Structure 1
Amino acid sequence: MVSFFNVVQLYTAYYPIIMTIVWIMGSWVSGLMTNRAMIKDDSQVKVTVLLAMFNEEYTISMALNSLSCLTYENFDVVIVDDKSEDESVTIVMRWMTAHPTIKMRLIQLPKNLGKAAALNEAIKVIHADFVLATDADATLAPDSIQQLLARVTNDHIGAVTGKPIVRNRTTLLGRLQALEYVVIIDRIKRAQDSLYGGIMTVAGVISLYRTDALRDVGGFDSAAITEDIDITWRLKKNNWHVHYNPKALVYILVPETLKGFFKQRIRWSVGGLEVLLKNISWSWKQGFSAQTLLLLDMCFSHIWAWFYVMTMTSFIITSFATRTFSLPGVIIFLYVLLFIIMFIQGIRQDEKQSHLSKRDLFELPFYSIFYWSTALMTAIISQFVVIFSKNSNGKWTSPDRGR
């Protein structure tokens, strides 16, 4: 029993250290690859920007304005309204009238179907080579299409995702997420793409799909709680590659209340766990591969969450029983050192894309703790949700978005 708890304690302490080293090394490799990448002249490739909306009257105008600033020439826009109950449709129609040079089509669904089903309805009428899916509360960078296409280096690539940048930082939670996206989430995606040959999931807010690939897998799964994670793995199962380009930018709104934040992150974690359960058997049958490593990575994180709970419980009981309180100095030193290295790397590779301010950097001492604490709580909660929930669904909910 003692040996088992020793293993638990070692795993709890060293898992974050090992993963941080993997992220740092993978991001370094990714930086070498990204710096060599050149934007190709793909102006003849037709791209349809696809945007599904439901009750987006406060954000849709900004999203549409960003489309008018896109520098790529050969694109059109398809907006599918999933039976909004506010003024979203009126705003879109007014915008279309004011911008006649933008090729845009509005599809109004007769009833609410959910985001994935709404996207599938739009895909039926799209004839472009590629589909760039984005959200009604996001603004695309002017060169986002070119950057995404630059990562489509062969006919086996089914999707490429870009880098979200948090634009609402009026609260501590918003600024913490801004640092998280720059320093941690970008590290993870870079490492997955460079070391595993593909990423765990596309970002639903900026993903370029090959239209043939979408139709090959039957579009999005309307029953999936996270359609972006699900579509990533269905593409992989059909031998399509999925990659990441950190130079393709999109500016997003993130939750600014703890309730909204944890609701979003638990949904992400549940979606990832559902995908893990669906694909672990298939992955093992294919033999050891990059997909297996990605799924094992997810398994290890869920195991770590429970080991951490066990270790902390034991630590608290022992501390009270012996009336002593001591922390492992070497482990803490490694945490701090890797934290500093990862932060410096993240800021350098960001190249001021995220426009971090001095105010954002005041949250520097907290962001790593913030990330791992969030991962811990959402991993455990999502396991209970998956076990006790009868079924998932892809219905729309009204998210918490800062302004």
Structure 2
Amino acid sequence: MIDRLIAFLVLSIVLGAPFGLTLVLTSNALLNFVFFYPLFMSGIWMAGGLYFWLHWERKWNWRPYRPPQLPGLPLISILIPCYNEADNGEETILAALGQEYQNIEVIAINDGSTDGTTALFDRLAAEHDRLRVIHLAKNQGKAMALRMGAMAARSEYLVCIDGDALLAPDATNYLVAPLVENARVAAVTGNPRIRTRSTLIGRIQVGEFSSIIGLIKRTQRVYGQLFTVSGVCSAFRRKALDEVDYWSLDMITEDIDITWKLQRAHWNVFYEPRALCWILMPETLSGLWKQRLRWAQGGAEVFLKNLTTIWSWEHRRLWLLMIEFVLSTGWAFAFTLSIILWLLGHTVALPPSITVSVLMPPSFTGMVLAMVCLLQFVVSVFIDRRYEPHLARSLYWIIWYPFAYWLINLVTTLFSFPKVMLRIRRRRARWESPDRGIKELA
């Protein structure tokens, strides 16, 4: 009951703060926040990404190429939870079995699939000694599938990938090395790269994962905590998972939740950009909408879950993540409020202090935003060029990215945040086959 009351108060503050700001400081303050918050965050992400590169990445030896060697050659378990992956499951499993690191076992968890996944997995298990298959009678959700895989695994180190992800041959070495070298590291998230590039939506996401998600993870790692590991490609320490009771079954984004659970228990989470994993992403508007709405709802669920538990001094390193989430959510509602005031101004007479006469930024502000956006693209290409040498070819398509990214964030926040805040969710989170686009290997 207390959590629900606090959720209502937070929702009221987020919804009401921009309006109150407008009344006190005029509509100019509202528009300044709407226009300059993305500018400010771009600056933070570029600074964090460059610091990460200067402090760590530029020192990594790439010639001659040698992935990290794991002392003692420990067994590594690769978990692949799948639901209706008859089209993609075979190449995913073969890529996992084809790792340069040989002391591995691959566990494919068939979560009640209704297509040909069962027959495919049984055939592959008969052909490959290092592959084991777990069949669940009905769809229990990705979190349960991961739990079952972890229970069956024989290793302390668990690499978890999606059923459509292709691990680079050396990805296992890079993902597990920080776990072996540092006893307080609980999870390592890899570097997903998009391989669906046949449409504008797919090409925009190539730029997004480079110029925004990669920079965000580098920046968050600089100040010590990650908002989320990548559910499509991450490694975990079993001891740490056991301490926090593994993945939660009622969270729609199990990857965000497990990240916060581990960090709340004072474990470290690392980002390893050299651990490459090629993934499929939606290439239709409906598929992209469903995916991003799920991400937004999952972030809001984790926000609500942690709202009352992280304000002690021992959790201070998580405060910046919480503040960033609140500001981003507030930006979405502030932008919406400015649109409402602009529309009202065309129909009724509003007081001058809250009248929004124009929604477009002034020419100088617009030019600054465009220049910062371009600079962000250049920085991201400079940093990521070693992982994808031809990334600059996507620069033409990246110019559409800021509009698409912030617009999607705006709409998904408006739909997901009130829904989660006003109705606490406690049912089992299950999955369905998403739009996977048209495969085009990089």
TM-score, normalised with respect to structure 1: 0.93
Alignment of 1:17 with 2:39, yes or no, is yes
**Paired residues for 1:68-147 under 5 Å:** 68-100=97-129, 103-147=130-174
Alignment of 1:263 with 2:285, yes or no, is no
Structure 1 equivalent of residue 299 of structure 2: 272
How far has the Cα of 1:311 moved from its partner?
2.2
Match among 354, 372, 381 for residue 338 of structure 1: 372
1:289 is paired with a residue of what secondary structure? helix
Letter in 2 for 1:304: W
Match among 48, 61, 84 for residue 26 of structure 1: 48
Q: Distance in 1 between matches of 2:323 and 2:159?
A: 29
Letter in 2 for 1:154: N
Structure 2 equivalent of residue 292 of structure 1: 319
How far has the Cα of 1:54 moved from its partner?
1.3
2:189 is paired with a residue of what secondary structure? strand
Letter in 1 for 2:248: D
Structure 1 equivalent of residue 76 of structure 2: 47
Match among 202, 213, 221 for residue 174 of structure 1: 202
Q: Distance in 1 between matches of 2:201 and 2:328?
A: 23
Gaps of 5+ in 2: 1-22, 62-66, 350-354
Q: Distance in 2 between matches of 1:165 and 1:398?
A: 20
After superposition, what is the alpha-carbon deviation per residue over 1:100-154, rounded to whole angstroms, capped at 9, x for unaligned? 4xx1211112332111112111211222121000011110011101111343342
2:369 is paired with a residue of what secondary structure? helix
Structure 2 equivalent of residue 66 of structure 1: 95
After superposition, what is the alpha-carbon deviation per residue over 1:340-388, rounded to whole angstroms, capped at 9, x for unaligned? 1110111111125346467633323211111111111111111132145
Q: Check whether the contact 1:182–1:354 (CA below 8 A) recurs between aligned residues.
A: no
Q: Distance in 2 between matches of 1:7 and 1:93?
A: 62
Q: Percent sequence identity over matched residues?
A: 32
17-26 or 45-54, larger mean C-alpha shift: 45-54
Structure 2 equivalent of residue 348 of structure 1: 382
Alignment of 1:397 with 2:436, yes or no, is no
Q: Check whether the contact 1:151–1:244 (CA below 8 A) recurs between aligned residues.
A: no
Q: Check whether the contact 1:115–1:396 (CA below 8 A) recurs between aligned residues.
A: yes
Match among 237, 242, 245 for residue 264 of structure 2: 237
Q: Distance in 1 between matches of 2:170 and 2:190?
A: 11
1:169 is paired with a residue of what secondary structure? coil
Q: Check whether the contact 2:381–2:391 (CA below 8 A) recurs between aligned residues.
A: no
280-289 or 298-307, larger mean C-alpha shift: 280-289
Distance of aligned partners of 1:280 and 1:36 in 2 relative to their CA distance in 1, 3 Å threshold: farther
1:182 is paired with a residue of what secondary structure? helix
Distance of aligned partners of 1:324 and 1:119 in 2 relative to their CA distance in 1, 3 Å threshold: closer
Q: Distance in 2 between matches of 1:216 and 1:223?
A: 18
Distance of aligned partners of 1:370 and 1:352 in 2 relative to their CA distance in 1, 3 Å threshold: farther
Distance of aligned partners of 1:115 and 1:288 in 2 relative to their CA distance in 1, 3 Å threshold: closer
Q: Distance in 2 between matches of 1:81 and 1:173?
A: 30
Q: Distance in 1 between matches of 2:155 and 2:320?
A: 34
How many pairs are equivalent?
Answer: 400
Match among 304, 307, 310 for residue 331 of structure 2: 304
160-169 or 69-78, larger mean C-alpha shift: 69-78
143-152 or 58-67, larger mean C-alpha shift: 143-152
52-61 or 305-314, larger mean C-alpha shift: 305-314
Runs of 4+ more than 6 Å apart: 319-324
Q: Distance in 1 between matches of 2:82 and 2:175?
A: 23
Alignment of 1:192 with 2:214, yes or no, is no
Q: Distance in 1 between matches of 2:123 and 2:411?
A: 44
32-41 or 12-21, larger mean C-alpha shift: 32-41
Q: Distance in 2 between matches of 1:66 and 1:40?
A: 19
How far has the Cα of 1:262 moved from its partner?
0.8
Structure 2 equivalent of residue 373 of structure 1: 407
Structure 2 equivalent of residue 6 of structure 1: 28
Letter in 2 for 1:400: D
Distance of aligned partners of 1:284 and 1:324 in 2 relative to their CA distance in 1, 3 Å threshold: closer
Q: Distance in 2 between matches of 1:211 and 1:323?
A: 54
Q: Distance in 2 between matches of 1:93 and 1:288?
A: 46
60-69 or 154-163, larger mean C-alpha shift: 60-69
Q: Check whether the contact 1:280–1:292 (CA below 8 A) recurs between aligned residues.
A: no
How far has the Cα of 1:13 moved from its partner?
1.7
After superposition, what is the alpha-carbon deviation per residue over 1:213-239, rounded to whole angstroms, capped at 9, x for unaligned? 111111111111111011111111211
Q: Distance in 2 between matches of 1:228 and 1:358?
A: 30
Letter in 2 for 1:53: C
Letter in 2 for 1:335: L
Q: Distance in 2 between matches of 1:324 and 1:240?
A: 50
Q: Distance in 2 between matches of 1:130 and 1:398?
A: 28
Letter in 2 for 1:58: D
Q: Check whether the contact 2:342–2:357 (CA below 8 A) recurs between aligned residues.
A: no
73-82 or 55-64, larger mean C-alpha shift: 73-82
Structure 1 equivalent of residue 241 of structure 2: 214
Distance of aligned partners of 1:230 and 1:15 in 2 relative to their CA distance in 1, 3 Å threshold: same
1:278 is paired with a residue of what secondary structure? helix
Structure 1 equivalent of residue 394 of structure 2: 360
